[in-house]
Amino acid sequence: MVKTRRRPYSEQRPTDLGGGVWSVPVPIPGNPLGYTLVYLIESPAGPVLVDAGWNHPDAWLALRDGMGAAGVDVREVRGVVVTHFHPDHAGLAGQVREESGAWIAMHEADAALVRLMHEFEDGAHRDFQADMLKRAGADAVEVEEAAAHRPRPPAVPDLTLRDGDLVDLPGRRLRVVWTPGHTPGHVCLHLADADRLFTGDHVLPGITPHVGVYPYDRADVDPLGDFLASLRKVAGLGGLEALPAHEWAFPDAGARAMEILAHHEEKLQALAVLLEGAGGPLTIWETAGRMTWNRPWEELPAMLRGMAAGEAAAHLRALEVRGVIRRTPGAEPVTFALHS
Ligand SMILES: [Zn+2]
Per-residue pLDDT band for 246 (boundaries 50, 70, 90) equals very high
Q: Which residues have C-beta within 8 Å of that of residue 184, sequence separation ≥ 6? A: 109, 110, 113, 221, 223, 226
**HSE of 153 in the Cβ direction (CA atoms, 13 Å)?**
17
Whole-angstrom distance, CA of residue 177 vs CA of residue 179? 6
8 A C-beta contact, residue 117 and residue 153: yes
- The closest alpha carbon to 200, from 33, 53, 83, belongs to 83
Reported as a single tens digit per residue, the pLDDT across 265-292 is 999 999 999 999 998 999 999 999 999 9
- 3-class state of residue 298 by DSSP: helix
From the CA of 203, how far away is ligand 1's center (Å)?
11
From the CA of 328, how far away is ligand 1's center (Å)?
32
Reported as a single tens digit per residue, the pLDDT across 110-124 is 999 999 988 877 777
With a pLDDT cut of 90, the percent of the chain lying above it is: 81
Q: What is the pLDDT of residue 2?
A: 43
What phi and psi, each to the nearest 5 degrees, are found at residue 233?
A: -60, -45
Work out the average pLDDT over 162-185.
96
Report DSSP state, residue 10.
G
Longest Cα pair distance anywhere in the chain, in angstroms?
64
From the CA of 186, how far away is ligand 1's center (Å)?
9
From the CA of 266, how far away is ligand 1's center (Å)?
23
Q: Is the dihedral of CA 120, 107, 54, 292 positive or negative?
A: positive
From the CA of 323, how far away is ligand 1's center (Å)?
29
From the CA of 330, how far away is ligand 1's center (Å)?
34
CA triple 288-292-298, angle to 5 deg:
65
Q: Is the dihedral of CA 242, 313, 81, 178 positive or negative?
A: positive
From the CA of 182, how far away is ligand 1's center (Å)?
7
- 3-class state of residue 335 by DSSP: strand
Q: What is the pLDDT of residue 93?
A: 98
Question: For residue 298, is pLDDT > 80?
Answer: yes
CA 236 to chain centre: 21
From the CA of 201, how far away is ligand 1's center (Å)?
6
Question: Environment class of residue 141 by beta-carbon count within 10 Å: exposed (0-12), middle (13-18) or buried (19+)?
Answer: exposed
Whole-angstrom distance, CA of residue 283 vs CA of residue 331? 9
- The closest alpha carbon to 132, from 149, 107, 154, 156, belongs to 149
